[in-house]
Amino acid sequence: MNTSSIDLSGRTALVIGATEGIGRATALAFAAAGANVFAAGLGAERGRALVAEIRERGRGDADFMEADVTREGDVKALVESAAKRFGRIHAAVNNAGIEGPFGPVQNATSDDFDRIIGVNLKGIWCGLKYQIPHMLAHGGGAIVNTSSSAGVQAIANVAIYTASKHAVVGLTKSAALEVARSNIRVNAVAPGPVNTGLLHRMIEGHIDVSVIAGSVPMGRVSEPEEIAGAIVWLCSDAASFITGHVLVADGGLTVG
């Protein structure tokens, strides 16, 4: 999605899970639209490199804080830090996610379950828990949560991942209803296969990327920048009457 016409000058975007893949592309897309960006995630060195790139390429300023989304205190601290740094958070993106092991559901361990649900679901709940009160106190805002095509259609051999992404859809829709009259919009994106480390780690040794691409009606996997464009659009005034929506960006994968 081309977001070159979107102007977010004077606004601040909080992007969680911003050190690689979709999150990194989203932080850069917000910066290109003129927003200040407060990025968060794991990997301080990658975070510093992202801030440097935003300051070089973007029209706004940027900052970074390392945070583990499974720790509620970390998420609370980063929302407070972003607000202190830039005054107000206009848009928030809850993107942190992990893939989990590939294989039948009975082969997963209790640790696998706790880790996947902890990052992919609890992490987004933690974001909402602290972003919503901030936005309620400052006149509104827009939140986008990252689900997956696995959140709208089952995928074999990644059952816990699929369950976590289905849960993100339900969490998004319920939260949207709760704050719809408070000028806060809550939506989700559901990407199909994206050329990121997560995809490659998930299928390594099991399925070739070319096979995945061949299963997509458009004949390819997407690039992170394409999903980032959808996220920035959902946070912009162009999507002002959209809430509780799951924007599926999958090249037609789940149409059938």
**What is the predicted pLDDT for the residue at 2?**
64
Per-residue pLDDT at 1: 62
Residue 203 maps to a domain: no
Contact 1, 229 (CB under 8 A): yes
pLDDT for 170-207, tens place per residue?
999 999 999 999 999 999 999 999 988 787 787 787 88
Does any domain span residue 39? yes
204 domain residue, yes or no: no
In a domain, 30, yes or no: yes
Answer for the pair 15, 30: CB distance below 8 angstroms, yes or no: yes
Of 36-40, 158-162, 198-202, the least confident: 198-202
Residue 66 has pLDDT above 80, yes or no: yes
- Which domain, by its residues, includes 40? 12-193+224-249
Q: What's the confidence (pLDDT) of residue 82?
A: 98
Q: Answer yes or no: pTM beyond 0.85.
A: yes
In whole angstroms, what is the distance from residue 172 CA to residue 179 CA?
Answer: 11
Whether residue 73 lies inside any domain: the answer is yes
**Given a cut of 80, is residue 106 above it in pLDDT?**
yes
Residue whose C-alpha is closest to residue 147's, from 38, 247, 20, 21: 247
Is residue 166 domain-resident? yes
Arithmetic mean of pLDDT, 77-88: 97
CATH number at residue 174: 3.40.50.720
On whether residue 22 sits in a domain, the answer given is yes
Average pLDDT over residues 94-107: 94
The catalytic residue positions are 161
- Indicate whether 123 belongs to any domain: yes
Q: What integer best gives the mean pLDDT of the chain?
A: 95
Number of structural domains, the chain?
1
